[in-house]
């Protein structure tokens, strides 16, 4: 079968707008592969590419960093990967290997990383070029549209929870029930934590319970810190809702040595009373994504425990609508572009 000479892509042209272009099918360079994209998640972080003013569409970036597809071409020097293999590409798609963080083995905090959809073209397209070192093995029996959000939202929450120091039976709270939070609640429950979901409004309690929360706190009607203290304090609070004041109010609800782990970026500052930190040894830390190995472990754990994102799918030609709805918070809970919806 003769492959088309061009492929379709949605590129960022500024002010929240996407434009469709047809581009020549590229050949992968040394150390790269070409992927035929099956699905790509639409993440709030894509706004860092789509909102700023951009250059002409001929050179504009393709957003998207939750990509699942199959390898259809291998560049020189690529080993360990094969044509037709199912792969994923997440937020961090390569490291410079020379900065102080990389030299110390901390590639997640590389100072000059390859970031999918931000420094290189991403997955809002039928085809994508990726660095082989940034590829994630994706099980064939995971649906592409369900696997895609796990490469970012899933990895971020899974890694943050398993590295936070809590043990089975500890109280772990998840702040927010959106794209990140609804996955975090599932992970926390399955890891054996006494899982507390925190959101605003009594109407969200049934969802929280269905996802696996043992206790729901309505932040509109209850004092979050007081409720957490009544449970003995939270060993970990995972902050997935981008509200600085909301995060600040929860710190007194931590147990001694407890951690507020921040994965959502708020435009508002987090303010903390030093007394809450010093007396009890509490801490506030950030968590950022993970390595390709972490991503493969996320997928394996999700597959084993039947943890899946709740998604709405859109064909590629509806990328603008999918992005707009995601930015309005009008998607339950992750928007995913599917390149061949009928398939």
Residues 6+ apart with CB under 8 A from 87: 33, 35, 68, 69, 70, 71, 81, 130, 135, 136, 137, 138
Tell me if the pTM is above 0.85: yes
Residues 6+ apart with CB under 8 A from 154: 183, 187, 298, 299, 302, 307, 309
For 330, the token pair is 């009008």
* Mean pLDDT value across residues 105-118: 96
Q: Write the CA distances from 119 to 62, 122, 185, 205, integer angstroms.
A: 10, 9, 31, 39
For 169, the token pair is 């039976």
Pairing of strands 215-218, 194-199: parallel
CB 38 within 8 A of CB 68: yes
Coil, strand or helix: which one is 51? coil
Quickly state the pLDDT bin for 287 (edges 50, 70, 90): very high
CB 342 within 8 A of CB 316: no
* Mean pLDDT value across residues 100-125: 96
CB 68 within 8 A of CB 144: yes
The predicted-structure confidence for 217-275, as pLDDT tens digits, reads as follows: 999 999 999 999 999 999 999 999 999 999 999 999 999 999 999 999 999 999 999 99
Taken in order of first residue, the domains within the chain and their CATH numbers are 6-149+310-338 (3.90.180.10), 164-286 (3.40.50.720)
Question: Considering Cα of 11, then 13, then 17, then 22, what sign does the dihedral take?
Answer: negative
Place of tokens 């997440």: 90
Q: Where are the beta strands (DSSP E) in the chain?
A: 6-14, 17-24, 32-42, 67-74, 86-89, 127-131, 135-137, 171-175, 194-199, 215-218, 234-239, 254-262, 283-286, 311-315, 334-338
Over 70: is that where the pLDDT of 58 sits?
Answer: no
Coil, strand or helix: which one is 174? strand
Q: Please give, one letter per residue, the 3-state secondary structure of 266-285.
A: CCCCCCCCHHHHHCCCCEEE
Quickly state the pLDDT bin for 107 (edges 50, 70, 90): very high
* Mean pLDDT value across residues 98-108: 96
Task: Give me the phi and psi of 201, to 5 degrees please.
Answer: 115, 135
Over 70: is that where the pLDDT of 54 sits?
Answer: no
Quickly state the pLDDT bin for 4 (edges 50, 70, 90): confident
First to last CA, the chain: 18
Q: Write the CA distances from 201 to 206, 212, 317, integer angstroms.
A: 11, 18, 35
**196 burial via Cβ count (<10 Å: 0-12, 13-18, 19+):** buried
The predicted-structure confidence for 302-326, as pLDDT tens digits, reads as follows: 999 999 999 999 999 999 999 999 9
């Amino acid at each position: 079968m003769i492959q088309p000479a061009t492929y379709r892509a949605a590129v960022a042209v500024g002010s929240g707008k996407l434009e469709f272009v047809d581009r020549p099918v590229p050949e992968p360079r040394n150390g790269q592969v070409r992927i035929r994209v099956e699905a790509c998640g639409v993440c709030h972080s894509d706004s860092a590419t789509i909102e700023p003013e951009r250059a002409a569409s001929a050179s504009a970036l393709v957003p998207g960093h939750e990509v699942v597809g199959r390898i259809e071409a291998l560049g020189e020097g690529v080993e360990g990967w094969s044509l037709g293999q199912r792969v994923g590409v997440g937020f961090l798609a390569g490291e410079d290997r020379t900065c102080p963080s990389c030299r110390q083995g901390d590639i997640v905090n590389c100072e000059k990383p390859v970031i999918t959809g931000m420094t290189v073209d991403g997955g809002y397209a039928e085809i994508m070029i990726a660095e082989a070192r940034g590829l994630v093995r994706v099980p064939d029996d995971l649906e592409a549209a369900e696997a895609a959000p796990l490469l970012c939202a899933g990895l971020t929450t899974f890694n943050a929870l398993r590295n936070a120091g809590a043990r089975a039976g500890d109280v772990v709270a998840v702040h927010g029930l959106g794209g990140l939070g609804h996955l975090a609640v599932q992970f926390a429950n399955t890891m054996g934590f006494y899982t507390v979901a925190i959101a605003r409004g009594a109407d969200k309690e049934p969802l929280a319970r269905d996802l696996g929360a043992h206790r729901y706190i309505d932040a509109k009607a209850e004092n979050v810190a007081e409720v957490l203290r009544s449970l003995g304090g939270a060993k970990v609070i995972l902050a997935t809702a981008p509200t600085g004041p909301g995060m600040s109010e929860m710190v007194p609800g931590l147990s001694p040595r407890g951690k507020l782990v921040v994965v959502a970026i708020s435009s508002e500052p987090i303010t903390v009373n030093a007394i809450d930190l010093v007396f009890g040894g509490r801490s506030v830390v950030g968590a950022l994504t993970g390595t390709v190995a972490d991503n493969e472990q996320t997928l394996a754990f999700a597959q084993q425990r039947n943890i899946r994102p709740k998604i709405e799918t859109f064909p590629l030609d509806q990328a603008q609508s999918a992005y707009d709805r995601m930015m309005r918070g009008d998607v339950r809970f992750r928007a995913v572009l599917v390149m061949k919806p009928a398939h």
